[in-house]
A = this chain, B = another copy of it.
Amino acid sequence: MASPGLPPYFSLGVCYYPEHWPSERWPIYARQMREIGLSYARLAEFAWSRIEPTEGNFEWEWLDHAIETLAAEDLGVILGTPTGSPPPWLLTKYPEILPVDKDGRTRTHGSRKHYDHASPIYRRYCQEIVAAMAQRYGDHPAVIGWQIDNEWGESDSTASYGPVAQDAFQDWLRHRYRTLPALNEAWGGVFWSQEYTAWDQTPLPNLTMNDPNPSHVLDFQRFATACITEFQNLQVDIIRAASPGRFITHNGMGNFEEVDYYQCVESLDFMAWDSYPLGQIDKGLLQGLDPTDWIGAGHPDLISINHDLMRGLKPGASTMVMEQQAGQVNWAQANPLPAANAVALWTMQAWAHGCDSVCYFRWRAATAAQELMHSGLLRHDESLDRGGQEIANLELPIGPLQAVTAKVVLLHDYESGWVANEQRHTQAWSYWKQMMLFYSTLRRLGVDVDIRHPDADLSAYAVIVAPCLHIVTPERAEHLREAAQNSHLVVGPRTGFRTESGRVPEDGQPGLLRDLLGCTLLNFDGMWPGTTIEAGGEEVTIWAEAYQPTTAQVLHTYDSGPLQGEAAVVRNGKVTTIGAFSSLLIARVLAQVLAQAGIAVVPLDEGLRRSSRGGRTLWMNFNDNERRLPDGRHIPAHDYILD
């Protein structure tokens, strides 16, 4: 199942920057890599200033030598294109490449990601260096694959707000809407008199006095992804032609919602991602959980939801972790040292969630610049650090790579998240939080979950859970109607709220899903932090919405609050609609649906998880103390058992 280039077994690699170290150390490092069980190294993705120190002068000798040194130890090579950090000479020559931020400030070079993806000049320089690399290394036997640029959107670089971006956005709008009346209708420009009579009147959605139009923002976010994808594909096209049999990927980020990876992945072999569990324990943790309870190894669901999402971006393809935390990171508000065994646990979890390979970040801790407080497999003094020792001792699952097979699917799309987050209605709400609410509830029931785009093939699933299908197009409504004929469907709050352009359906919510759900929306309540109501006897926070059943039956009603007595959960045949943001009520409803679908559930303690792949089951304990598995076995803190 693994991609061309990737080993056909579960493999490990490391991010490596030979240009940071004296070449005398390179053979020693290569030997050490092989000795601790690594199969390949990723290199060059920030090496532009060494490859092209001055304009048009390419220096390949060092990189040739670095690759050969690795090849001599039978290590493969993933090459990153260095376009994530253009060198100073380029920005000084063409300052118009520099991005402009939301506050209107032109940003500068000196770190990375300092470019507007729409810049024609920058695109030309990128094509030139990528063509040169692809020509030199495209058929090098050690080269197994390519990574394009680095982490789309990192450093708040998803969108630029300068004149280059404005021109490109206006072109994109013209192409999408063809006529200005169509644009004005799609955005509802009549509201507040923002109807455009010329294409060059359409502004970027920053620095408005009041909120910008949400449809304007939605289209700008679509444009930003389109712009990045176009930028990416200029490189993909060059490499595809010059480097046959190698995979091409990009390293996405976890818990990151600004770029629509479904768009990016189309031209790639698969999407890889960068997993930093301890850098993100404060991002999107479930209501009621305390980040500081998970400083040892992170929270399992906050990690695995990304594995499941990345795996689902291109069903049937590989996925991998391109950067795996292997010690402390340096960029979070606090950067604790991982607990003993955490690196091993994360590696095994990645395998169980469908990764075909895990590449650690980074080989030796940097002795200079921005990341010098970040760990590597080697310490600054070249001794093998804790993470490196765990990897060296790790017993990997052997045999051919098999697929994860889940009976339950969670629907997810970036556009629904964008438009819903733009108008949260209570700051406590977010699309990601609602995704996590349903995802964690399923994981706590011990159920394996796939994540798919709502328009993907859903025929393999007995249960379809749509936490927040905010945008519903006619095609999507039809697709769901068909999918729901053979499967149970559970939808969460804020479903069917918006059309493709971000308007509300003229006949109200849930619009085109009215017949499928068998109800209409009555009212919604964006709750104040700290306030709770009850529905079906369970606590509700953040969000509550109530329904008027048409053909559905009422399963649960609100016990208190302004919606008291109204329907909180309704069922229309095999379709269940849940309007209350309530972990416990959702768990009750889901458990019932899973039972009806014949899917066994195994309730698990918080932090205890199980995941299955290829007939084997991995039990994991992310807590900082020993626990018991449902079958009574003890499992130590931050450890796993592979059955």
Q: Which positions in A face B, CB cutoff 8 Å?
A: 17, 19-20, 46-50, 53-54, 82, 85-89, 91-92, 99, 103-114, 154-157, 187-198, 200-216, 291-292, 295-296, 327-328, 330-331, 333-340, 365-373, 379-383, 385-386, 423, 425-428, 502-509, 520, 522-531, 562-563
Contacts and interface: CB of A to CB of B under 8 A. Distances in A.
A368 B19 contact: no
A197 B54 contact: yes
A640 to B, nearest CB: 18
Contact of A213 (B92, B205, B327, B370): B370
The 7 closest A-B pairs by CB, nearest first: A188-B368, A381-B508, A191-B369, A49-B193, A111-B210, A334-B426, A380-B508
B155 A337 contact: no
Majority secondary structure of chain A interface residues (helix, strand, loop or mixed): loop
Given A85-B193, A295-B531, 13 more contacts: A50-B195, A85-B194, A89-B197, A103-B103, A104-B106, A105-B207, A110-B208, A110-B212, A295-B527, A295-B528, A328-B523, A368-B502, A381-B508
Nearest to A291: B528
A358 to B, nearest CB: 21
B526 A209 contact: no
A212 B194 CA distance: 36
A381 B373 CA distance: 57
A109 to B, nearest CB: 6
Contact of A372 (B82, B201, B214, B330): B214
B110 A213 contact: yes
Contacts of A371: 191
Contact of A113 (B206, B209, B291, B523): B209
B380 A505 contact: yes
B195 A49 contact: yes
Given A334-B529, A369-B192, A426-B335, A157 B209 contact: yes
B203 A333 contact: no
A373 B331 CA distance: 36
A423 B335 CA distance: 11
A404 B370 CA distance: 42
A271 to B, nearest CB: 22
28 contacts: A49-B189, A49-B190, A50-B193, A85-B193, A87-B193, A87-B195, A88-B195, A88-B196, A92-B198, A110-B203, A157-B209, A187-B368, A191-B368, A194-B369, A211-B331, A213-B369, A213-B370, A215-B369, A295-B528, A334-B428, A335-B426, A337-B523, A340-B562, A372-B423, A373-B423, A373-B425, A383-B508, A386-B523
A337 B563 contact: yes
A241 B114 CA distance: 50
Contacts of A328: 425, 523-526
A104 to B, nearest CB: 5
Given A195-B87, A198-B89, A562-B339, A367 B506 contact: yes
Contacts of A54: 197
Contacts of A423: 330, 372-373
A99 B209 contact: yes
Given A48-B193, A372-B423, A505-B380, A562 B213 contact: no
Nearest to A367: B504
A526 B278 CA distance: 12
A391 to B, nearest CB: 16
Contacts of A53: 195, 197
A556 to B, nearest CB: 18
Contacts of A295: 527-528, 531
Given A335-B526, A526-B335, A563-B337, A194 B425 contact: no
Residue among A187, A201, A383 with max Cβ neighbours from chain B (10 Å): A201
Contacts of A205: 110
A211 to B, nearest CB: 5
A379 B598 CA distance: 40
A369 B187 contact: yes
Contacts of A382: 508
Given A92-B200, A328-B525, A111 B192 contact: yes
B107 A208 contact: yes
Contacts of A340: 562
Nearest to A92: B201
A194 B87 CA distance: 6
Contacts of A192: 46, 85, 111-112, 369-370
